[in-house]
């Protein structure tokens, strides 16, 4: 079993990312920035209707427009368009302005069909059937234990209906790529992707050329969050247009189509009935849930979540609507499951008159490895938010119109890496060091952690390592998804660098008249039995003309998976306007051995802010009448700005036994429980449950009004 | 701040607006001081007719970008952002929302931050255009502070934040945290890098002061 250095010099410290200055100075070239010689601009034509059939499509006029070099029809006469934003055609022209004009000149006659764009409309009696198999795809009911009997043991039972909306990824760099045919069967694509290898495979398959003829380059990219794992129809179309026109084509979606068609996080709604004994032990849960992932389904989520429920039954329906299809989004399914579970947990704790933390602790599974982690984290988080001193029982948030409240929620994530990825480490005779792998950095710091590992093992500074990734022709690397990149890439990086170092020692030792085992590296020097003898450059010069190149593979003992975390929120709610201000969030997260504390913290801050957006602001708003999205932009689609950011306290839960687990990814876990914690804090503040996320003024005021009608507030 | 407000801004002038709106023609039915003012505006407009040519088709323009005279051909509708990115390979400013709500395209025009996605290139002739590629990358510069404080993740919003931050510090070298937040409220980040961004802005202010 391999192991990480016991007393690392760099690992676990705060190291600025190696490509940070390129990004901060505007010099980094994103896939949407490159402009190969003679490049044309591609523009998509997409459906203005939620549901329509193409009666006819005529591109004659468009083809004759100035500057137009290629036109590609995707949806021919007779084709069905299943959502606003569905692809119809594409144009490549010398300027983007010309391409847009040509798009406008394509004559399409539509037969508009009846649509449903909300779950209510889709499930209603007599709704137009938009999928042959029916609008509602019933999931298999999952039952554990005898739920009816178990409920009889409950001293307190709650039944709540909770929901979270569809949100979109809003990648700042839209989906797309720049395609350049190097000759008739070799293509280079500058792609904004989370997976250079699979993107290359998709292009190779599309054009029936060998994988080796495709080069996908992603030096840097502007955000994916789970939605960018391939070339996509738009990338394939760019390559087709480039082939037709005999010139490179850049194709990146406009902001509207990005919202409509490039993925979203499915909604989640459901009725949760849950019971517990008076000492706070859960006995049973019954949940009926549904959600929509658009025209394709995929709206499943875990429930029960985190807690040990002895008897549970669950049904789940996927509801089809005429909206773009869901894609994985930062911890797919978990934020939804967390909202429904944690809202019900809080409501049941309230009914039992128990402290929400005590109630949660009572219901952690005794033999689950997460449990001691949660216990440690809850203690740290409760202390940091001042739970004991500051939190009041629900509805005692203060006398004036501004009510203060506190909430908590727990989450978990599998993560863990693959065991088949590779990294090459090259040590050149001039002393330069290069790492090569076909993984990519989507903003997480993947490039930097590889350099940190190499610098640690070789006794060099991080800046001396060239971390060369984002190229599909390099040794196979991990796609950036599921928080798997670090645990997949760190072990082969360790192996490659260690092997390269040992190969260098084998070359240098005879020249020094010692055994390789006598050598070590430290502070840019090669040491013989602990004494500095050569500089790194002098040692490498002994390689002559032959660089060292070692391919590293997985080794056990360096990485792991499976994390739990908890988050606390402090909010102020104005019960007159319904405006929620988050004052403070505490996030306590384990993730094994932290390689770079600076980028690790950024990941956790980013996850929390993503969760804050989900908790307070974001929702895709569909117009049931016209079938179009009303906020396919960045002003009415609300995202936090600088003034919306509360005090955020990030705590790494990394006692020695956690560090000993090795590297675990952290991209996803810290975004899961924020929205649930905020919702719980809001209900603690105002004394009533706001059952509909986000905690927008409308949803808060509606909950207060409903409670007033029922005489509760 | 007051300084900035008196500078001419890119975009339509009062004169262009009156001409375009047809208000001048309506002056016949208005009397008194309003009429006198409109008459004056109409006279100015007639005078301007010759001075401001109506642009259409392909227009040759010269832009002063990061200290260099750059010649290119645009259409009157071409935005400053698209001209920089698509024609001049100045790709620091990014296109994200393309309608003046996210700030990723922020560029300095005569020292003032503008959303270059909603600024026409033809309106920027004769003005000084600065993108972040021209900023000091040394230890006292804004980019350095962003790098050191990890005020970026994917980095696509970063050019806008760096430029907005530079513009803020140019006019207010000693901002409080609240003022930094206000100064950066026109920019949106999706990765959630705000904590690093705010630290970076305060650090940049400090190092510019030489503190």
Question: What is the per-residue pLDDT across A211-248, written as a single tens digit (0 to 9) for each?
Answer: 999 999 999 999 999 999 999 999 999 999 999 999 99
Residue A332 belongs to domain spanning: 264-415+560-709
Nearest to B101 among A21, A598, A633 (CB): A633
Domain end marker among A252, A274, A293 = A252
pLDDT tens, residue by residue, A508-554: 999 999 999 999 999 999 999 999 999 999 999 999 999 999 999 99
* pLDDT bucket at B8, cuts 50 / 70 / 90: very low
Average pLDDT over all residues of chain B: 85
Tokens standing for residue A105: 């000149």
Q: Is cis: bond before A445, omega within 30 of 0?
A: no
Q: Does B194 touch chain A (CB under 8 A)?
A: yes
Give the pLDDT band of residue B56 (cuts 50, 70, 90).
Answer: confident
As a whole number, mean pLDDT of residues B180-190 equals 98
Predicted confidence at residue A629, as pLDDT, reads: 98
- The total of structural domains in chain A comes to 3
Query: B182 contacts in A (CB within 8 Å)?
Result: 642-643
Contact B156 A26 (CB under 8 A): no
Q: Do A25 and B143 touch (CB under 8 A)?
A: yes
Per-residue model confidence (pLDDT) at position B51: 64
Residue A647 pLDDT grade (very low, low, confident, very high; cuts 50, 70, 90) = very high
Q: Is B55 on the interface with A (CB under 8 A)?
A: no
Residue ranges and CATH numbers for the domains of chain B are 10-51 (no CATH), 59-133 (3.10.20.30), 135-208 (1.10.150.120)
Q: How confident is the model at residue B45 (pLDDT cuts 50, 70, 90)?
A: low
Who contacts A159 (Cβ-Cβ below 8 Å, separation ≥6)? A271, A272, A273, A274
Structure tokens given for B91: 């790709």
A469 domain residue, yes or no = yes
Residues A492, A592 share a domain: no
Contact of B146 with chain A, judged by CB distance below 8 Å, is answered with yes
> Which of A148-152, A260-264, A594-598, B25-29 is predicted with the least confidence, judged by mean pLDDT?
B25-29
Question: What pLDDT is recorded for position A127?
Answer: 97
Residue A552: per-residue pLDDT: 98
- Say if residue A542 is in the same domain as residue A679: no
Average pLDDT over residues A366-375: 97
First-last CA distance in chain A: 61
* Residues A200-221, mean pLDDT to the nearest whole number: 98
> Which chain B residues are within 8 Å of A649, Cβ to Cβ?
none
Asked whether the beta carbons of A265 and A166 are under 8 A apart, the reply is: yes
List of chain A residues whose C-beta atoms are within 8 Å of the C-beta of residue B155: 19, 23-24, 28, 220, 222, 443
Q: Where are the alpha helices (DSSP H) in A402-552?
A: 446-458, 485-512, 536-541
Contacts of B98 in chain A (CB under 8 A): 254-255
Q: Are A407 and A679 in contact (CB under 8 A)?
A: yes
Q: Are A606 and B193 a contacting pair at CB < 8 A?
A: yes
Quickly state the pLDDT bin for B52 (edges 50, 70, 90). Answer: low
- Is beta strand B59-65 parallel, antiparallel or unpaired with respect to A647-652? unpaired
Q: SS3 helix, strand, coil % of chain A, rounded to 5?
A: 30, 25, 45
A561, pLDDT greater than 80: yes
Q: Which residues of A touch B83 (CB under 8 A)?
A: none
- Which chain B residues have a beta carbon less than 8 Å from that of A41? 86
- What's the pLDDT at B26? 42
Q: Which of A29, A220, A223 lies closest to B190 in CB terms?
A: A223
- B47–chain A nearest CA distance, Å: 32
Q: Are A369 and A291 found together in one domain?
A: yes
Asked, for residue A137, whether it belongs to a domain, the answer is no
A620 contacts A700 by C-beta, under 8 angstroms: no
d(CA A574, CA B174): 33
Contacting residues for B98 by C-beta, under 8 A, at least 6 apart: A254, A255, B81, B117
pLDDT range class, residue B43, cuts 50, 70, 90: confident
> What residues in B contact A607, CB-CB < 8 Å?
192
Residue A160 in any domain: the answer is: no
Asked whether residue A23 is assigned to any structural domain, the reply reads no
Put simply, the answer to whether B153 touches A16 (Cβ < 8 Å) is no
**Residue B69: pLDDT over 60:** yes
Q: Are residues A483 and A423 in the same domain?
A: yes
Mutate to test the interface with A, among B87, B195, B196 (most CBs of A within 10 A): B195
Cβ within 8 Å of A, B 164-183? 180-182
Q: Tell me the average pLDDT across A173-180.
A: 98
Q: What per-residue confidence (pLDDT) applies to B54?
A: 74
Residue A169 distance to chain B (closest CA, Å): 9
The pLDDT tens digits of the residues spanning B20-29 come to: 444 444 444 5
Q: Which of A26, A254, A443 sits opposite B159 (nearest CB)?
A: A26
- For residue A174, give the nearest of A192, A189, A190, A196 by alpha carbon: A192
Interface test with A, best of B77, B168, B190 (most A CBs within 10 A): B190
**How close does chain A come to B32, measured CA to CA in Å?**
43
Q: Per-residue pLDDT for A492 more than 70?
A: yes
Is residue B99's pLDDT more than 90? yes
> Span A201-206, mean pLDDT?
98
**Structure-block tokens of residue A186:** 């070799």
- Which of B93, B95, B184 is opposite residue A642, by nearest beta carbon? B184
A451-460 burial string, b = 16+ CB within 10 Å, else e?
bbbbbbbbbb
pLDDT on residue B32: 63
| CA dihedral over A434, A438, A440, A446, signed as positive or negative | negative
Residue from A642, A648, A650, A668 to probe the interface with B (highest B Cβ count within 10 Å) = A642
Outline where A216-273 has alpha helix (H).
Answer: 232-245, 255-261
pLDDT of residue B46: 67
Are the beta carbons of A17 and B78 separated by less than 8 Å? no
Q: In the structure encoding, which two tokens stand for residue A308, read together?
A: 């040990």
- Whether the per-residue pLDDT at B14 is higher than 90: the answer is no
Query: Which pLDDT band, with edges at 50, 70 and 90, does A8 fall under?
Result: very high
Find out whether A94 and A67 touch, Cβ atoms under 8 Å: yes
Cβ–Cβ gap B132/A26 under 8 Å: yes
Residue A5 domain flag = no
Using pLDDT thresholds of 50, 70 and 90, give the confidence band for residue B19.
very low
A427 in the same domain as A411: no
pLDDT for res B33:
62
Please compute the mean of the pLDDT values over residues A166-170 and round it to a whole number: 98
Cβ contact (<8 Å) for A642 and B137? no
Q: Is the pLDDT of residue B159 over 80?
A: yes
Over residues A684-703, the mean pLDDT reads: 98
- Same structural domain for residues A210 and A193? yes
CB contact under 8 A, A220 and B155: yes
Q: Give the angle subtended at the CA of A321 by the CAs of A317 and A323, to the nearest 5°.
A: 130
Do A474 and A599 have their domain in common? no
Q: What is the CATH number of the domain that holds A230?
A: 3.90.1170.50
Determine what percent of chain B is predicted with pLDDT higher than 70. 76
Residue A205 shares a structural domain with residue A302: no
Q: Can you tell me the mean pLDDT for A282-293?
A: 98
pLDDT for B15 beyond 50 = no
Mean pLDDT of chain A: 97
pLDDT of residue B55: 77
Cα of A101 to nearest chain B Cα, Å: 12
User: Do A316 and A303 sit in the same domain of this protein?
Assistant: yes
d(CA B53, CA B55): 6
Above 50 in pLDDT, residue A617? yes
A340: closest CA among A281, A406, A378, A290? A290
Beta bridge partners of A41: A93, A250
* Domain final residue, candidates A230, A252, A274: A252
pLDDT confidence of residue B38: 67
pLDDT of residue A665: 96
With respect to residue A616, please indicate whether it lies within any of the assigned structural domains: yes
ipTM over 0.95: yes
Residues of chain A neighbouring B151 (CB-CB closer than 8 A)? 24
Higher pLDDT residue, B13 or A436? Answer: A436
One domain, residues A318 and A437? no
Q: Which residues of B touch A16 (CB under 8 A)?
A: 147-148, 150
Question: Taking 80 as the threshold, does the pLDDT of residue A501 lie above it?
Answer: yes
Are B190 and A170 an interchain contact pair (Cβ–Cβ within 8 Å)? Answer: yes
Using CA atoms, how far residue A89 sits from A53, A62, A66, A254, A272, in Å, is 14, 11, 18, 14, 45
Q: Is the pLDDT of residue A31 over 80?
A: yes
Confidence of residue B48 (pLDDT cuts 50, 70, 90): low
Q: For residue range A562-608, list pLDDT tens digits in order.
A: 999 999 999 999 999 999 999 999 999 999 999 999 999 999 999 99
Judgement on whether residues A362 and A466 belong to the same structural domain of the protein: no
Give just the sign of the alpha carbon dihedral A340, A609, A487, A657.
negative
Size of interface A-B (CB pairs under 8 A): 169
What was the pLDDT predicted at B20? 40
Residues A465 and A535 in one domain: yes
Contact A172 B162 (CB under 8 A): no
Domain boundary among A552, A569, A603: A552
How many H-runs (helices) and E-runs (strands) does chain B carry?
A: 8, 5
Q: For residues A167-175, give the mean pLDDT.
A: 98
Domain at A581, CATH number:
3.30.365.10
Residue A380, in any domain of the structure: yes
Question: Is residue B5 pLDDT above 60, yes or no?
Answer: no
Classify residue A427 by burial, with Cβ atoms within 10 Å: 0-12, 13-18, 19+: buried
Say if A138 falls within a structural domain.
Answer: no
């Amino acid at each position: 079993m391999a192991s990480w250095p016991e007393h690392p010099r760099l690992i676990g410290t705060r190291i600025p990312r190696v490509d940070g200055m390129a990004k901060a100075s505007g010099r980094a070239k994103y896939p949407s920035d490159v402009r190969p010689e003679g490049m044309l601009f591609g523009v998509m034509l997409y459906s203005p209707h939620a549901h329509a059939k193409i009666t006819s499509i005529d591109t004659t006029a468009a083809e004759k427009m100035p500057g137009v070099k290629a036109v590609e029809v995707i949806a021919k006469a007779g084709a069905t368009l299943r959502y606003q934003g569905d692809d119809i055609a594409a144009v490549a022209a010398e300027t983007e302005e010309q391409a847009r004009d040509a798009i406008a000149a394509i004559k399409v006659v539509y037969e508009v069909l009846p649509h449903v764009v909300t779950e209510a409309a889709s499930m209603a009696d007599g709704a137009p059937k938009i999928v042959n198999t029916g609008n509602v795809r019933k999931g298999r009911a999952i039952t554990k234990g005898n739920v009816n009997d178990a409920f009889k043991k409950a001293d307190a039972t709650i039944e709540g209906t909770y929901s979270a909306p569809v949100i979109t990824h809003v990648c700042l760099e839209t989906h797309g790529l720049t395609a350049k045919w190097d000759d008739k069967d070799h293509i280079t694509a500058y792609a904004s992707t989370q997976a250079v290898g699979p993107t290359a495979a998709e292009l190779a398959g599309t054009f029936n050329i060998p994988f080796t003829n495709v080069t996908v380059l992603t030096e840097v990219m502007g955000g994916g969050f789970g939605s960018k794992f391939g070339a996509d129809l738009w990338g394939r179309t760019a390559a087709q247009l480039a082939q037709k026109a005999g010139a490179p084509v850049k194709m990146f979606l406009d902001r509207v189509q990005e919202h409509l068609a490039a993925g979203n996080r499915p909604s989640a709604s459901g009725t949760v009935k849950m019971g517990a004994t008076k000492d706070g032990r859960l006995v049973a849960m019954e949940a009926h849930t549904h959600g929509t992932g658009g025209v394709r389904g995929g709206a499943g989520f875990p429930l029960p979540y985190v807690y040990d429920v002895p008897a549970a039954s669950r049904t789940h329906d996927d509801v089809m609507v005429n909206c773009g299809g869901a894609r994985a989004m930062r911890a797919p399914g978990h934020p939804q499951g967390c909202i429904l579970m944690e809202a019900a947990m809080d409501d049941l704790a309230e009914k039992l008159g128990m402290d929400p933390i005590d109630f949660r602790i009572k219901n952690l599974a005794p033999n689950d490895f997460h449990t001691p982690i949660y216990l440690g984290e809850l203690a740290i988080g409760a202390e940091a938010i001042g739970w004991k001193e500051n939190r009041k029982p629900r509805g005692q948030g203060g006398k004036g119109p501004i009510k203060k409240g506190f909430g908590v929620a727990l989450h978990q994530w599998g993560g863990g890496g693959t065991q088949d990825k590779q990294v090459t480490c090259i040590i050149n005779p001039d002393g330069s060091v290069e790492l090569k792998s076909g993984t990519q950095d989507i903003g997480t710091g993947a490039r930097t952690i590889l350099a940190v590992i190499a610098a640690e093992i070789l006794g060099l500074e991080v800046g001396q390592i060239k971390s060369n990734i984002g190229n599909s022709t390099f040794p196979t690397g991990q796609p950036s998804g599921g928080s798997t990149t670090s645990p997949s890439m760190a072990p082969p990086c360790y192996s490659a660098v260690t092997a390269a170092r040992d190969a260098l020692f084998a070359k240098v030792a005879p020249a020094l008249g010692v055994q390789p085992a006598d050598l070590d590296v430290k502070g840019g020097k090669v040491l013989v039995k602990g004494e500095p003898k050569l500089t790194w450059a002098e040692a490498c010069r002994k390689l002559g003309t032959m660089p060292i190149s070692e391919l590293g593979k997985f080794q056990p003992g360096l990485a792991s998976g499976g994390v739990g975390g908890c988050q606390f929120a402090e909010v102020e709610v104005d019960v007159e306007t319904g405006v929620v201000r988050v004052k403070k969030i505490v996030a306590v997260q384990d993730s094994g051995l932290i390689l770079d504390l600076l980028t690790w913290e950024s990941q956790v801050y980013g996850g929390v802010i993503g969760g804050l957006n989900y908790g307070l602001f974001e929702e895709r708003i569909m117009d049931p009448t016209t079938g179009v999205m009303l906020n396919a932009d960045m002003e009415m689609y609300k995202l936090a700005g600088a003034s919306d950011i509360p005090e955020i306290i990030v705590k790494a839960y990394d006692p020695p036994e956690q560090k000993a687990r090795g590297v675990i990814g952290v991209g996803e876990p810290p975004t899961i429980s924020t929205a649930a914690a905020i919702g719980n804090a809001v209900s603690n503040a105002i004394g009533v449950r706001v059952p509909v996320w986000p905690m927008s003024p409308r949803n808060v005021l509606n909950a207060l009004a409903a409670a007033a009608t029922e005489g509760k507030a | 701040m007051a300084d900035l407000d008196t500078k001419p801004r890119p975009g339509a002038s009062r004169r262009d607006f009156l001409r375009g709106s047809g208000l001048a023609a309506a002056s016949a039915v208005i009397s008194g001081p309003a009429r006198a003012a409109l008459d004056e505006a109409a006279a100015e407009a007639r005078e301007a007719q010759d001075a401001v040519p109506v642009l259409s088709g392909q227009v040759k323009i010269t832009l002063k970008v990061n200290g260099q005279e750059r010649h290119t051909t645009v259409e009157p509708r071409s935005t400053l952002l698209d001209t920089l990115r698509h024609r001049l390979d100045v790709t620091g400013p990014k296109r994200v929302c393309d309608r003046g709500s996210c700030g990723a395209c922020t560029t300095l025009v005569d020292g003032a931050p503008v959303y270059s996605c909603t600024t026409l290139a033809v309106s920027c002739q004769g003005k000084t255009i600065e993108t972040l590629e021209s900023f000091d990358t040394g230890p006292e510069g804004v980019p350095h502070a962003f790098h050191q404080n990890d005020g970026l993740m994917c980095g696509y919003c970063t050019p806008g934040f760096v430029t907005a931050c530079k513009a803020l510090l140019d006019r207010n070298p000693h901002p409080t945290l609240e003022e930094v937040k206000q100064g950066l409220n026109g920019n949106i980040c999706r990765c959630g890098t705000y904590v690093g961004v705010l630290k970076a802005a305060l650090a940049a202010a400090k190092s510019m002061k030489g503190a």
